[in-house]
Homo-oligomer: A and B are copies of this chain.
């Protein structure tokens, strides 16, 4: 049986880190699949990443229904369906972030594609689609993904990738562990900022497909751990390495 207290602690730490690194502000969220039950996931109640605590972590089914003790600690995020639909469509995914990462949003409303320009950012991939809620749900939504129908449509655009932008809204990013997805979300924001600057100077030489594939495949668990330890220190949270965190993406031994 997985240590769910450790998982709740991990999610709170992840929220603090994402806020510190400017990926989340008062909004946006990160989820983690239940280690013992692939049809459930954990995520905070509707609260800002810097103030939520372990007590705010709730359990959901993949269709976004609240599971667990009554009363629940509070109202869930209205966009929890994003997480459910992606975890439903992607058995390989353990953790999902939905964010309004500020340097990424400009790419969601212009013709410019976001692509990695440095190796640390390679795992976001060379083929990042932009989901547009208008295509299926019309030109007068509030852009929020508030039911499974919308969320499954977004998951379809994401496909087998790690990232999809969302026009006029933000992005989703997925990974095999909380630490992996946090790492990639932090570096996607950095990549977007650097790419905007590079594009202002002329033609950009992106990483090649071969480089992206190699950089992604070869990334060891200790790379994620180096970032995680550093970010834990920045946000004043204890740095802990835990068995349950180790998804199929990396193992204790290759650290």
Contact = CB atoms under 8 A, between A and B. Distances in A.
Interface of A: 25-27, 46-51, 75, 100, 102-103, 105-112, 117-120, 122, 134, 138-144, 167-170, 190, 193-208, 210-211, 213-215, 218-219, 222, 226-227, 229-231, 233-234, 255
A169 B106 contact: no
A125 B230 CA distance: 33
Contact of A26 (B46, B49, B226): B226
A143 B216 CA distance: 11
A123 B155 CA distance: 28
A178 B170 CA distance: 27
A43 to B, nearest CB: 15
29 contacts: A26-B227, A48-B227, A48-B229, A48-B230, A49-B230, A50-B230, A75-B255, A105-B194, A108-B118, A109-B205, A110-B201, A110-B203, A110-B205, A111-B202, A117-B168, A118-B143, A119-B142, A119-B168, A122-B143, A138-B210, A139-B208, A140-B208, A140-B210, A140-B213, A140-B214, A143-B215, A167-B205, A196-B197, A200-B200
Nearest to A130: B205
> Main secondary structure on chain A at its contact with chain B?
loop
A103 B197 contact: yes
